[in-house]
Each structure stands twice: as structure tokens, then as C-alpha cells.
Structure 1
Amino acid sequence: MASKKKILKKIQIVITNHFNTPEDAFNFFDNDGNGTLSKREIATLLKQAEISGFIRGMVSSKLIEGYDKNGDEEVNWKEFKSAVDEIAKKSK
């Protein structure tokens, strides 16, 4: 199984290589336009990052658990931006 560091690096690559800004990435993956990323929407992001389907559900749950600060079991823009900033710092 891929390590947390490798998974976060793959997410960073998708965001930086396919979108002009993190906000563009957030809006692209927010399929229903409700201003949050659900577990299913995060799984779509992970698929783009070439994370194995076998672990995608578990990883999306862990990402929500780690970055959902308001407890709604979704990731809003502020939480997403915080996650992106943290990923960028860890990859340096």
C-alpha cells in the first residue's frame, strides 16, 4: 500500500499539473456545487491521482477525518486550502 507521503504527493501533482489554482481544483471536484467535497468527490480526486481503487475509500475517509475541522464529514474550501498548504509544506 502507498504511504501517506506518496499519496499526498500524488494529490499535489494532480492539483498543480492539471489546474491553475487550488480553487480551480476544488471547484472541479465539487461535482454537486454545494461548496464541499464529499467522500465520493474526494475519491474522484484520488482516482485522478492514480490511487488504487482498493484503498481509495479508506484514504478518502482518512483525508476527511484529518482535514474536516467543522465535523460535517465533508471538506469545505477553507479546509481544502489548509490541506493543500500542508501538503505543499511537507513536499519541500
Structure 2
Amino acid sequence: MGAKEEILNKIQILVTNHFSDPQEAFNFFDENGDGKLKKSEVVALLKQAEISGFIRGMVANKLIEGYDTSGDELIDWEEFKAAIAKIKVA
């Protein structure tokens, strides 16, 4: 398993084991309730998923780059849902 797959697997485990559904996970990490995850909120998610602190910032940037289809450098609910759907397939 490559590093990307390992990270996505840890995120899937976090969402599956600690939340009733992806919406609950999204709402939990959306600290300010604006309907979007900013980088610091993605980093908090990665921390909970036990992603190494050494690479957490880089991984957050890559996740935002990869799943931010609106180009606002944030992850909204639709983008989060799409990311979770890809993780489940991976």
C-alpha cells in the first residue's frame, strides 16, 4: 500500500469508526460552522486520523488541491462527499 492509499485508509477508518456518517464528520471538523473546511480544519481531521505531524500540512495541501473543485482553497460538503466516495472505492 502506497503512502496516499494509507492516508486515505486512515481517513476512512476515522470517519467510519467515530461518526455515524460522513456528514457528521464534516460538521465536527467544520469548527466555525461556515460549511467549508479550511486548511487548519483539514489538519485537525488528519490529526484525528493519526497522520504524522511531520507530513500533516503537506497532506492537507494535497487534499485541498485534489478535491477543491470550486477553486476557493476550501473543502465544502459536496467536495468532501466526493472525496469520501473516492476513498470508499479505493
User: Shorter-chain-normalised TM-score: which range?
Assistant: over 0.9
Query: Normalising by the residue count of structure 1, what TM-score does the alignment of the two structures yield?
Result: 0.95
Query: Normalising by the residue count of structure 2, what TM-score does the alignment of the two structures yield?
Result: 0.97
For 1:89, the equivalent position in structure 2 comes to 89
Runs of at least 5 residues in structure 2 that lack an aligned partner in the other structure: none
**Secondary structure of residue in 1 paired with 2:34:** coil
CA RMSD of aligned residues (A): 0.8
Question: What letter corresponds to residue 88 of structure 2 in structure 1?
Answer: A
* In structure 2, distance between residues paired with 1:75 and 1:30: 10
**Secondary structure of residue in 2 paired with 1:20:** coil
**Post-superposition offset of 1:81:** 0.2
* In structure 2, distance between residues paired with 1:35 and 1:19: 17
Q: How many residues align?
A: 89
* In structure 2, distance between residues paired with 1:31 and 1:14: 17
For 2:8, the equivalent position in structure 1 comes to 8
* In structure 1, distance between residues paired with 2:11 and 2:56: 12
Runs of at least 5 residues in structure 1 that lack an aligned partner in the other structure: none
For 2:23, the equivalent position in structure 1 comes to 23
* In structure 1, distance between residues paired with 2:6 and 2:52: 12
For 2:50, the equivalent position in structure 1 comes to 50
